[in-house]
Amino acid sequence: MPECSNREIICQELLKAAGEDRDLVVLCSDSRGSASLAPFAERFPSQFVELGIAEQNLVSVAAGMALCGKRPFAASPACFLSSRALEQAKVDVAYSAANVKLIGISGGVSYGALGMTHHSTQDIAAFTSLPGMRVFLPCDGHETQALMKLLLKDGSPAYLRVSRSPSRDVYESEPQDLTPGRMIEVRPGRDVTLIGCGETVAIAKDAAALLKESGIEARVLDSFCLKPFDGAAVRRAATETRGIVTIEEHQPQGGLGALCAQAAARRGGCPVRSIALPDAPLIAGSQREVFDYYGLTAQNLADTAARLVRG
For residue range 167-193, what is the model confidence (pLDDT) as tens digits? Answer: 899 999 999 889 999 999 999 999 999
SS3 307: helix
Regions in the chain scoring below 50 on pLDDT: none
How many of the other CB atoms lie within 10 Å of CB of 17? Answer: 16
Write phi, then psi, for 296 (nearest 5 degrees): -85, 65
Angle between helices 256-265 and 231-240 in degrees, nearest 10: 60
C-alpha closest to that of 45 among 32, 60, 63, 62 = 32
Give me the domains of the chain, ranges plus CATH numbers. Answer: 6-161 (3.40.50.970), 184-310 (3.40.50.920)
- How far are the Cα atoms of 46, 235, 275, 308 from residue 49, in angstroms, in the given order? 8, 44, 39, 51
Predicted confidence at residue 176, as pLDDT, reads 84
How many of the other CB atoms lie within 10 Å of CB of 18? Answer: 21
Cβ atoms 284, 114 nearer than 8 A: yes
| Distance (Å, whole) CA 301 – CA 305 | 6
Instruction: Please state the pTM of the whole predicted model.
Output: 0.96
| Distance (Å, whole) CA 77 – CA 104 | 5
